[in-house]
Amino acid sequence: MGAAKSNLVELRDLKVAFDGVQVLHGIDLTVGRGEALGLVGESGCGKSVTWLAALGLLPGKAGVSGSVRLEGRELCGSPRSTLESVRGGRIAMIFQDPSSSLNPVLRIGRQITEALALHRGLRGDAARTEALRLMDMVGIPDARSRFDLYAHEFSGGQCQRLMIAMALAGEPDLLIADEPTTALDATIQAQILDLLIQLRAETGMATVFISHDLGAVSQVCERVCVMYAGRIVEQGTVEQLFAAPRHPYTRGLFDAIPRIDGPRQPLVPIPGTVPNPKHLPAGCAFSPRCSRVLQSCHTELPPLVPQGDGRLLACARPVPLALVIHAAKPRTPARIVESALQ
Amino acid sequence: MTPLIQATNLARIYQVRRGLFAQPKPVRAVDGVSLAVMPGETLGIVGESGSGKSTLGRMLLGIDQLQAGEVRFEGRAMPELRTAEWRALRAKMQLVYQDPLAALDRRLTIASQLAEPLEIHRIIPKDQRPARVAELMVAVGLRQDQAGRFPHELSGGQRQRAVIARALASRPKLLVCDEPVSALDVSIQAQVVNMLRQLQEQNGIAMVFISHDLKVVRNIADRVAVMYLGRIVEEASSDVIFRSPRHPYTQALVSSVPVPGKLLEGRVILQGEPPNPANRPAGCAFHPRCSIARDICRSTAPVLRQIENRRTAACHIVADGAVPVAA
Ligand SMILES: Nc1ncnc2c1ncn2[C@@H]1O[C@H](COP(=O)(O)OP(=O)(O)OP(=O)(O)O)[C@@H](O)[C@H]1O
Ligand SMILES: Nc1ncnc2c1ncn2[C@@H]1O[C@H](COP(=O)(O)OP(=O)(O)OP(=O)(O)O)[C@@H](O)[C@H]1O
Ligand code: SF4
Ligand SMILES: [Mg+2]
Ligand SMILES: [Mg+2]
């Protein structure tokens, strides 16, 4: 077993409860070195909590159990100092709410040099030079003259770039980007996605990209995890999932996205709403909304099991592969991938 | 046919003060916009954040003051703000915006919220109101057992349905929807979009649909106007504009929409940031980010011209030789 082949981060049976209400029901997830993994699912399904829990960033009232390993070393329950050295150093996270992460009363240059001092021991001119390099790298125009500005003097897209620059200060092995583009304009979103792809190519760091936008995920990631109500329901390569989503929820997500090309048709929504974690349906949590539901789905929880093609799936009656491949309707994801490959 | 609503040369200038002692600077939020919406038609409005979409929507309804220009509804000039005529007209044009919780009264049940506009506008006799409330709930796909619920007891999508039902109570001819589905998850978004499309088809309601989500706009709008820094830079039918955008900004915008399975390569990724509206670039406001800009773009602002049948664009290069659209 060569160390190079081992996984960078492994989550095992990660569970989280708030005030006795369980919101994460045992997440198993691995991130390989240099890999780009996407985490998708609707609001409240536990995407952020998964990584906040893994990094020990949840408030004290949160009950966390399970295992989080970084290169085999257990982080869950380890002392604060260990977690603090991992955060920002080995693993950096860009948070969903950008305004909460940049300090409004500290000049931007100072914030980045402080991160450099903390994680890499750089001081003085060396820190300043490196901070300017990072600002350049994330595409802040004329970094030198903007070094001493405050966060509010930058645009939303630039603040997001600055957060990425801060995250890069510790030369992390893994960057967790939680909805890094959601609050941004479409054209700026495209810039940031482009930046994330380019940074990964240049630095070789692994990326976890959290988003509810399947389109954005498919651009940045190689592997995708679909979550529903605190569980992973399907996992596979981007090609697999986009060519043939097999969990009825994954399939429903694809069908619900309006198309930017092709004929205009009524959208295909998923009926019903996301369940309240306090009153999770018995059996498969998706069963009340599922178009392929079986009687047994209401009582038996389908386990997440490997399929012949290597993907993981938790469903008693998945969308048949053949059905997806032969579907001639223009709005099937299979066709979307096809046309993209032309 | 007379347009249901027609706006000519609208302008809205905010005086914005940066810092306590700074001189107020004019921000031209909406800067010479003309548009028309036919009965039953849906006009989509897209564009960068801060390009003036919401301000324009409010101006159409007469909620935001016009510094210049004119709005005509069913061929008649808009009455003075807050007069009886204005209020009567407001029953025919309603606003639906992003945050359903803010639009609903948290102390009232859904049924009472829907009955309220019926009372205010004295639209139907009192004894018929419960039936109308039930009808409205059906129209937006709410269940009868949800009539007695309070807003916080509904999901986000259900709340937005309630807001739309309330807007429909006075049987409006025009809905101005400002980011009505942006706060909703995709699966729920699709439910609400379908419902709006149904309303269009069944009741012939016209809509101005403001959104930054191009995929949703393409799905619901007949025609689309693209705004950049307070002005319309391109307008065409929804099918045409997304299939073959002509203005360089529209091209970048359409190209930036992440499509599942479609790689980022080969897309137009704009350099630079959207400009500050208080500091409008000279010439074409888009020129600092435009890859085909020439000298004339830096000095002269392009006017909106007809570039094809039923299609306009404001770009020197794209509209070379075309005749300006008379305002
Ligand atoms: N600090 C907290 N206290 C109590 N409940 C919480 C807390 N943080 C998250 N939750 C709950 O945990 C669940 C998962 O939340 P999480 O933030 O991980 O969702 P998400 O998938 O990131 O959603 P979004 O797409 O909206 O960001 C939700 O039900 C949420 O209400
Ligand atoms: N009440 C106000 N006072 C001062 N400036 C304002 C006011 N409302 C809007 N503005 C400014 O006018 C411009 C247009 O704003 P508007 O809200 O119409 O844009 P928008 O296109 O709706 O943006 P978004 O997509 O972010 O909602 C912006 O520069 C904004 O800062
Ligand atoms: S397990 Fe059953 S209910 Fe759940 S998604 Fe599959 S078919 Fe639907
Ligand atoms: Mg989140
Ligand atoms: Mg707006």
**Residue B280 contacts A where some CB pair is shorter than 8 Å:** no
Tokens standing for B9? 């040369």
How large a percentage of chain A has pLDDT more than 90? 54
Inter-chain touch A271–B191, beta carbons under 8 Å: yes
Count of beta carbons in the 10 Å neighbourhood of residue A277: 19
The structural domains of chain A, with segments of one domain joined by +, span 1-90+172-342
**Residue B215 contacts A where some CB pair is shorter than 8 Å:** yes
Instruction: Give chain A positions within 8 Å (CB) of B215.
Output: 257-260
Choose from B214, B249, B264, B268 for mutation: most chain A CBs within 10 A: B264
Quick: pLDDT tens for A67-94. Answer: 999 998 898 888 888 888 888 789 999 8
Tokens 């054209």, residue? A187
Rounded Cα gap, residues A107 and A151, in angstroms? 7
Quick: pLDDT tens for B206-247. Answer: 999 999 889 999 999 999 999 999 999 999 999 999 999 999
Inter-chain touch A190–B259, beta carbons under 8 Å: no
Can you give the pLDDT at residue A263?
79
Instruction: Give chain A positions within 8 Å (CB) of B49.
Output: 156, 185
Q: Is A232 exposed, middle or buried (0-12, 13-18, 19+ CB in 10 A)?
A: buried
> For the complex shown, is ipTM > 0.85?
no
Instruction: Give chain B positions within 8 Å (CB) of A243.
Output: 261
Q: What's the mean pLDDT in A185-191?
A: 84
Instruction: Give chain A positions within 8 Å (CB) of B158.
Output: 273
Is the pLDDT assigned to residue A4 strictly greater than 50?
A: no
CA B48 to ligand 5 centroid distance, Å: 9
CA A56 to ligand 5 centroid distance, Å: 37
For every residue of B45-93, DSSP letters joined together read EEESTTSSHHHHHHHHTTSS--SEEEEEETTEEPPPTTSHHHHHHHTTE
Which residue in chain B has the smallest CA separation from A259? B215
Inter-chain touch A267–B261, beta carbons under 8 Å: no
Can you give the pLDDT at residue A180?
85
Is the pLDDT assigned to residue A330 strictly greater than 50?
A: no
CATH class of A1-90+172-342: alpha beta
CB proximity under 8 Å: A 126-145 to B = 141
For every residue of A283-310, DSSP letters joined together read SSTTGGG-TT--GGGGT-PPP-EE-TTS
Can you give the pLDDT at residue B246?
94
Start-to-end C-alpha separation, chain A: 40
Is the pLDDT assigned to residue A340 strictly greater than 60?
A: no
**Residue B112 contacts A where some CB pair is shorter than 8 Å:** no
Measured in degrees and rounded to the nearest 5, phi and psi for residue B281 equal -60, 150
Give A326→chain B minimum CA distance, Å.
Answer: 18
Residue A93 DSSP symbol: E
**Residue B255 contacts A where some CB pair is shorter than 8 Å:** yes
Size of interface A-B (CB pairs under 8 A): 137
- Which residue's CA lies nearest to atom 16 of ligand 2? B52
Instruction: Please tell me if the CB atom of residue A44 comes closer than 6 angstroms to any atom of ligand 1.
Output: yes
Q: Which ligand is nearest to the CA of A44?
A: 1
DSSP, collapsed to helix, strand or coil, labels residue B42 as strand
**Residue B279 contacts A where some CB pair is shorter than 8 Å:** no
Quick: pLDDT tens for A97-156. Answer: 655 678 888 999 999 999 999 888 999 999 999 999 999 888 888 888 889 999 888 877
Measured at the CA of A257, the angle between CA A99 and CA A49, to 5 degrees, comes to 40
Can you give the pLDDT at residue A3?
43
CB-nearest to A337 from B186, B191, B261 is B261
Can you give the pLDDT at residue A265?
83
Can you give the pLDDT at residue A339?
33
CA A48 to ligand 4 centroid distance, Å: 4
Question: Between the ranges A198-202, A284-288, A317-321, where is the mean pLDDT highest?
Answer: A284-288
> Cβ(A26)–Cβ(A15) under 8 Å?
yes
Choose from B186, B218, B223, B255 for mutation: most chain A CBs within 10 A: B186
pLDDT less than 50: residues of chain B? 327
Q: What is the mean pLDDT of chain A?
A: 87
Q: What's the mean pLDDT in A5-11?
A: 85
Give pTM, 2 decimals.
0.86
> Cβ(A135)–Cβ(A147) under 8 Å?
yes
- Which residue's CA lies nearest to atom 3 of ligand 1? A18
Can you give the pLDDT at residue B8?
96
Can you give the pLDDT at residue B295?
94
